[in-house]
A and B are shown apart, each in its own frame.
Chain A
Amino acid sequence: GEDVEQSLFLSVREGDSSVINCTYTDSSSTYLYWYKQEPGAGLQLLTYIFSNMDMKQDQRLTVLLNKKDKHLSLRIADTQTGDSAIYFCAEAPNSGNTPLVFGKGTRLSVIA
């Protein structure tokens, strides 16, 4: 079945860049998402990328997709303490009709 893998922890200093990596197994994945979850809260959609794209940038966020290696990364520039949260990578073959498959989440800790 589909599988999404992420490293569990990442610690960075405030002002540095954070890079969170994700790999997936489903070659039919068309939509790839990054969500942020703060303690006790729901999921906040950060950004998404279609499988026919290599890169997407949105302010401090940059998503890189290597479809050949099934590797996705999220780069957060100028990381702030407010970025401390759990980041989930998720994929789906189409948008809205089938359930998202989530990774286990990467806990980002930002050190002041």
Chain B
Amino acid sequence: GAVVSQHPSWVICKSGTSVKIECRSLDFQATTMFWYRQFPKQSLMLMATSNEGSKATYEQGVEKDKFLINHASLTLSTLTVTSAHPEDSSFYICSAGDTVYGYTFGSGTRLTVV
């Protein structure tokens, strides 16, 4: 079946630095990638939707200059958290959308900013 590989699984970074999270679709082409954020004991909050080769569409309240999304190919999408601060600490999950396989989720990245 469809698999999305998300890396890293966890990362600890210093405040003010940037962190890149990668999501790769391994055996299919992800025409659409969704990025979510999940706070402890809460549901998934959609951050943005990206289609290959075009700019991401951000949800209201999500800073596009802080959460940079790149979807340069049909198999790779990246989320970069720029100038990270402790309040950016969270669980980030990507989901590849495809009309054949539906939604395939990555395993998530736990970001801790110290």
Contacts and interface: CB of A to CB of B under 8 A. Distances in A.
Interface of A: 31, 33, 35, 40-43, 45, 48, 88, 92, 94-100, 102-105
B43 A103 contact: yes
B31 A41 contact: no
A92 B98 CA distance: 13
A103 B43 CA distance: 7
B102 interface: yes
B34 A100 contact: yes
Is the contact region of chain A dominated by helix, strand, or loop, or is it mixed? Answer: loop
A102 B44 contact: yes
B102 A42 contact: no
Given A97-B32, A99-B49, A100-B34, A42 B99 contact: no
A40 B46 CA distance: 18
Nearest to A100: B103
Interface string B81-114: 0000000000001010111111101111010000
Interface in B9-56: 31-32, 34, 42-44, 46, 49
B70 interface: no
Contact of B99 (A33, A40, A96, A102): A96
Q: Which of A40, A48, A88 has the most CB of B within 10 A?
A: A40
Contact of B102 (A31, A41, A99): A31
A42 B6 contact: yes
A32 to B, nearest CB: 12
